[in-house]
A and B are shown apart, each in its own frame.
Chain A
Amino acid sequence: KAGVTQTPRYLIKTRGQQVTLSCSPISGHRSVSWYQQTPGQGLQFLFEYFSETQRNKGNFPGRFSGRQFSNSRSEMNVSTLELGDSALYLCASSLWGGGLSYEQYFGPGTRLTVT
């Protein structure tokens, strides 16, 4: 079974631009979560989707948004990029929708650099 895939793997953008990251969960998984990882803040929760519905959102500005499609694939978008948005963005999927009391399968991440 294929794992979680994220595209692109690496991205360089300029301040003020916007970016869209994509995540394809493991087949059959309906829950997709996004995390931002930086050296200073560590792993921070962005949002979680289940069956196209956002069930929780982390403490990030409105420039960060996401969505999930009917095939469970998910995208996240960051508008008006700032230098501080440089990070590794990780996507994770899990099988069940009842809370997150199940193991999360993580993708390899998208390394975003904002210059």
Chain B
Amino acid sequence: SQQGEEDPQALSIQEGENATMNCSYKTSINNLQWYRQNSGRGLVHLILIRSNEREKHSGRLRVTLDTSKKSSSLLITASRAADTASYFCATDASNDYKLSFGAGTTVTVRA
């Protein structure tokens, strides 16, 4: 079973627009991470936010975490065609040595 659920499942935006996707999870976590996957290839780590952090930035990425609501959001600003990919949130709980992934959000950026 999957810990996280992403919303929306798919997103289509124009180049230059912002893309926002959300992740909800079920149990207490140590950290939450976001990954990107291009066309069925390996995943690329984007950002990690720890459970005691509320917001984190990395380049055009902004991640928020609300542990009271068990949810996180990923914002990609000024999107580019190269941002077309699937985005996954992943959580790890205390010392269980595994990441639990959500179902992912497929983002399409139109030129």
A and B: bona fide binding partners = yes
Interface residues of A (CB under 8 A from B): 4, 31, 33, 35, 37, 42-43, 45, 48, 50, 55-56, 58-59, 88, 90, 92, 99-109, 111
B92 contacts across to A, CB distance below 8 A:
99-101
Which residues 85-111 of B have a CB within 8 angstroms of A? 88, 90, 92, 94-104
Q: A90-B43, A105-B45, A108-B42 are in contact. Are A33 and B99 (CB under 8 A)?
A: yes
Q: Is the interface of A mostly helix, strand, loop or mixed?
A: strand
* 9 closest residue pairs by CB, A with B: A43-B101, A106-B42, A103-B45, A56-B97, A106-B43, A55-B97, A45-B98, A100-B92, A48-B97
Kindly provide the distance from the CB of A66 to the nearest chain B CB, expressed in whole angstroms.
13
Bound Cα distance A75, B37 (Å) = 23
Bound Cα distance A35, B88 (Å) = 14
| Cβ contact within 8 Å between A99 and B95 | yes
Judged by a CB distance under 8 angstroms, whether B33 is at the interface is: yes
Bound Cα distance A101, B98 (Å) = 9
Q: A43-B101, A100-B99 are in contact. Are A108 and B41 (CB under 8 A)?
A: yes
Bound Cα distance A59, B96 (Å) = 13
A88 contacts across to B, CB distance below 8 A:
40
A105 contacts across to B, CB distance below 8 A:
45
Looking across the interface, which residue of chain A has its beta carbon closest to that of B91? A100
B1 contacts across to A, CB distance below 8 A:
59
Q: A42-B104, A99-B30 are in contact. Are A104 and B99 (CB under 8 A)?
A: yes
A42 contacts across to B, CB distance below 8 A:
2, 101-104
